[in-house]
Amino acid sequence: MTANTDIQFLKGVGAKRAEILKSKGIDTVGALLRFFPRKYLDWTKITRVASAPFFENVCVKATITTPIETFETQRGIKIYKFMAEDESGRFTVSLFNQYFLASKLNVGREYLFYGKFDGGFFKQMNSPLIKETNYGGIEPIYTAGKSITSKTIEKLVKNALSMVQMPDVLPENIRKQNNLCDINYALQNIHFPKTKESFERAKRRLVFEELFCLQVALNVIKLKTHKQSGCVIKNNTFESFLGCLPFTLTNAQKRVVGECIADMQSGRPMSRLIQGDVGSGKTVVAAALCFVSAQNGYQSALMAPTEILAEQHYKTLLGIMENTGIKCGLLTGSLTKTKKLEIKAKLKNGEIDVIIGTHALIVNDVEFDNLGLVITDEQHRFGASQRDKLENKGVNPHKLVMSATPIPQTLSYILYGDLDISIMDEYPKGRQKIDTYSVDSSYRQRIYKYIKKFLTDGRQGYIVCPLVEENEELEITSANEYYEKLKNGEFRDYSLGLLHGKMSAREKEQVMTDFANGKIQLLIATTVIEVGIDVPNAVIMLIENAERFGLSQLHQLRGRIGRGQYKSDCILISDSNSPDTAQRLDVIKNSSDGFKIADYDLALRGPGDFLGNRQHGIPQMRIADIFADKQVLLDTGAQAKQLLLSDPTLKQPQNEALRAEVKDLYLKLNK
Ligand code: ADP
Ligand code: MG
């Protein structure tokens, strides 16, 4: 039996259990051994009854001194009650509906009781766990479920540990260098720790292993792109691009363009992420790079997640490139067939220099003459495989991804470990401050009046409807109702528009065009407006049920206003009176720094929720915590690089097990 043996063949697992285990992602014996306990119960540390604290889990060793009495409550709950004592004191024990357990207990015998004390004068313990006194171990508790208990998993793990020797993915020199135990000791002690020290030793090694493998995988990806030679930019024409702009670039914009051009001149393909808060002006950076590429004879592609955005970028780039002789094109799913064919033909024969589009760009029959640069905007909306598809349409083109979701440094290591990172931490001059308020719904009518004042003055605004978690249908129904209600009521004298995710691309585009042209004064929308929309005349935003949104999401939404010369207001409505919500909304009120907000968000919600339900590509960590274990993350990064220097393809025999593990991860990361 080896680590790769199908779980079905492990002693104690039949066809049915195998199915249950597989549904938990446990396909092999090795996977079972890497299914770590969620927590542990320490039965080795015995506390005296007299000195045991209240309301904390403790283990006491006590003798049952009275017969077990049975009561039944009015609701039919059976209570089994008895007294127990050690030499220091006594307490009452109550078991609820636990007939089986109660029937096995004997008066006069000593047991281990694990639970919390409460009560006043008399100590009492409700529903403790009870074991024979010879138990004396640290008990692992697994995330189980109705179909399989923690105890069963524990037994199976025991079987597996006794039958399999796992290969060690950490080469011996790495283990020695970092003073780490071997894998079989680690597995034995993560499941059944003998002592607290052996547990710590096991855990340290497993955390290291997990992060090390991740870092090796990320570095392999990086090496792959860095080896190949790219489409080299010989002629840096950035200076002449500046003449095409109606404004001067911010220092951050200049710096970031400089970093990109240096990459593109280096002889290797660029592989870079721009992280810039909403409104920091990423589009014009993209335009500059498309310009320079075109001047050097290469085509560029700019891919956006929605048609609205693609359309908007197209217009922006058309404007900038107007007198340059550079030809721009737009390719989206909603174009007519003839139009698509025409654009595709022009791309293939090189007539179009810069193509802007949506997913429509990655379909098979889109071909380029000489694709040198691929840019994806709001890249967290795309999977790596979608990016790859576009990149494969050229010969090692430069790639740039742009993200308006500021993420804390540690997280960007994981998400973008294969990319170099440029930060845009400056806003264009003359941007207005956005004031943010949070109120409860009793203010709604007053706020409507306030909004009307802006509309009457010629400004525009947004109302963001409640997010309905996991249910787009409901969300749209509620947005529809909200829209109808305002249109026929409070705002009947104004022109309103509605925007949601289930509208056809054409409908959305029409609404956005009308909004951009000022035909629509107030836009009722779901979160589809979250990304990238740029209408400088929109200066007021009302967000309903603000507590349902993540902080970063609120920040993104708010970034739709405050884009022009007018001062803007963002009003958050929430009737939640949980202190947690108050704290979160305070963060949004008091900060306009996306990175800071992201840090809070992360701290408040944890990494899993951080980027919402979207596909975010963070591999699920088994045991490492990328925040708590940040230092290990950094250390393993350096060691992974070093290892790959001496054995770039992991072909040396001592790296064989590592190679297999990394290959697996690599495929997952590149999905
Ligand atoms: P984001 O980084 O959120 O994608 P955009 O590229 O949409 O930001 O830019 C936001 C707005 O700022 C746009 O209206 C754009 O024209 C404007 N802008 C960008 N750079 C500058 C600049 N250097 N000076 C003045 N306005 C700028
Ligand atoms: Mg943008």
Q: Is the pLDDT of residue 295 over 50?
A: yes
**Confidence label for 123 from pLDDT (cuts 50, 70 and 90):** very high
Closest CA to 547 of 517, 586, 518: 586
Q: Is the pLDDT of residue 619 over 50?
A: yes
Q: What is the pLDDT of residue 85?
A: 96
Centre of ligand 1 to C-alpha 253, Å, is 10
State how far the Cα of 387 lies from the Cα of 401, in Å rounded to an integer. 9
Other CB atoms within a 10 A radius of the CB of residue 316 amount to 17
Q: What is the pLDDT of residue 357?
A: 95
Q: Is the pLDDT of residue 240 over 90?
A: yes
Q: Which ligand lies nearest to the CA atom of residue 531 in the structure?
A: 2
Q: What is the pLDDT of residue 613?
A: 35
Q: What is the pLDDT of residue 580?
A: 83
Say if CB 250 and CB 427 are below 8 A apart.
yes
State how far the Cα of 398 lies from the Cα of 395, in Å rounded to an integer. 9
Q: Whose CA is nearest to atom 27 of ligand 1?
A: 428
Look at the chain and count its residues.
671
Q: What is the pLDDT of residue 466?
A: 78
More confident residue, 598 or 250: 250
State how far the Cα of 340 lies from the Cα of 345, in Å rounded to an integer. 9
Closest CA to 538 of 567, 572, 520, 561: 561
At 60-74, the pLDDT tens digits run: 999 999 999 999 998
Pocket test for ligand 1, best of 248, 274, 282, 284 (most atoms within 8 A of CB): 284
Region 527-536: mean pLDDT is 73
DSSP 46: B
Nearest atom in ligand 1 to the alpha carbon of residue 282 is 2
Residues with CB under 6 A from ligand 1: 247, 249-250, 253, 276, 278-284, 404, 428, 532, 534, 536, 563
Closest CA to 469 of 527, 425, 426: 527
Other CB atoms within a 10 A radius of the CB of residue 160 amount to 27
DSSP 238: H
Q: Reduce the DSSP state of residue 301 to 3 states and report it.
A: strand
Q: What is the pLDDT of residue 279?
A: 81
**CA angle centred on 525, ends 524 and 530, rounded to 5°:** 140
**Confidence label for 119 from pLDDT (cuts 50, 70 and 90):** confident
**Confidence label for 414 from pLDDT (cuts 50, 70 and 90):** low
**Phi and psi angles of residue 178, each rounded to the nearest 5 degrees, phi first:** -105, 10
Q: What is the pLDDT of residue 595?
A: 79
**Confidence label for 549 from pLDDT (cuts 50, 70 and 90):** confident
State how far the Cα of 569 lies from the Cα of 558, in Å rounded to an integer. 9
Q: Reduce the DSSP state of residue 610 to 3 states and report it.
A: helix
Q: Reduce the DSSP state of residue 330 to 3 states and report it.
A: strand
Q: Which secondary structure element, helix H or strand E, spans residue 188, and what is its range?
A: helix 183-191
More confident residue, 219 or 200: 200
User: Which residue pairs from 513-519 have beta carbons closer than 8 angstroms and sit at least 24 positions apart in sequence?
Assistant: 515/460, 518/460, 519/495
**Confidence label for 615 from pLDDT (cuts 50, 70 and 90):** very low
Going by C-beta distance under 8 Å and a sequence separation of 6 or more, which residues neighbour residue 45?
59
Centre of ligand 2 to C-alpha 582, Å, is 30
Q: Is the pLDDT of residue 530 over 60?
A: no
Centre of ligand 2 to C-alpha 562, Å, is 14
State how far the Cα of 288 lies from the Cα of 424, in Å rounded to an integer. 15
State how far the Cα of 65 lies from the Cα of 75, in Å rounded to an integer. 29
Say if CB 421 and CB 275 are below 8 A apart.
yes
Region 89-114: mean pLDDT is 94
Q: What is the pLDDT of residue 226?
A: 63
- Amino acid code (one letter) for 146: K
The proportion of the chain whose per-residue pLDDT surpasses 90, expressed as a percent, equals: 59
At 632-652, the pLDDT tens digits run: 988 998 899 899 999 988 999
Annotate 60-104 with three-state secondary structure. EEEEECCCCEEEECCCCCEEEEEEEECCCCEEEEEEECCHHHHHH
Region 441-467: mean pLDDT is 93
**Confidence label for 665 from pLDDT (cuts 50, 70 and 90):** confident
- Amino acid code (one letter) for 462: Y
Q: Is the pLDDT of residue 452 over 90?
A: yes
Region 189-213: mean pLDDT is 94
DSSP 628: T
Q: Whose CA is nearest to atom 17 of ligand 1?
A: 281
Q: Is the pLDDT of residue 381 over 80?
A: no
**Confidence label for 444 from pLDDT (cuts 50, 70 and 90):** very high
- Amino acid code (one letter) for 185: Y
Helix-, strand-, coil-residue percentages of the chain, each rounded to 5 = 45, 20, 40
Region 479-483: mean pLDDT is 90
**Confidence label for 611 from pLDDT (cuts 50, 70 and 90):** very low
Closest CA to 41 of 185, 117, 139: 139
Pocket test for ligand 1, best of 283, 426, 429 (most atoms within 8 A of CB): 283
Q: What is the pLDDT of residue 374?
A: 95
Q: Whose CA is nearest to atom 18 of ligand 1?
A: 281
Region 123-132: mean pLDDT is 94
Closest CA to 29 of 12, 41, 42, 45: 12
State how far the Cα of 445 lies from the Cα of 659, in Å rounded to an integer. 63
77-91, 113-127, 371-385, 583-597: which has the highest mean pLDDT?
77-91
Q: Is the pLDDT of residue 566 over 90?
A: no
Q: What is the pLDDT of residue 380?
A: 62
Centre of ligand 2 to C-alpha 315, Å, is 13
Other CB atoms within a 10 A radius of the CB of residue 638 amount to 10
Going by C-beta distance under 8 Å and a sequence separation of 6 or more, which residues neighbour residue 271?
222, 225, 226, 263, 398, 399, 418, 419, 420
Q: Is the pLDDT of residue 213 over 90?
A: yes
**Confidence label for 242 from pLDDT (cuts 50, 70 and 90):** very high
Q: What is the mean pLDDT of the chain?
A: 88
Centre of ligand 2 to C-alpha 428, Å, is 14
Centre of ligand 2 to C-alpha 267, Å, is 28
Nearest atom in ligand 1 to the alpha carbon of residue 248 is 23
Task: Give the N- to C-terminal CA distance of the chain in Å, as an integer.
Answer: 30
Q: What is the dihedral sign for C-alpha 415, 417, 418, 423?
A: positive
Q: What is the pLDDT of residue 475?
A: 72
| Helix/strand number for the chain, H first, E second | 23, 22
Q: Is the pLDDT of residue 592 over 90?
A: no
Other CB atoms within a 10 A radius of the CB of residue 30 amount to 19
Q: Is the pLDDT of residue 506 over 90?
A: no
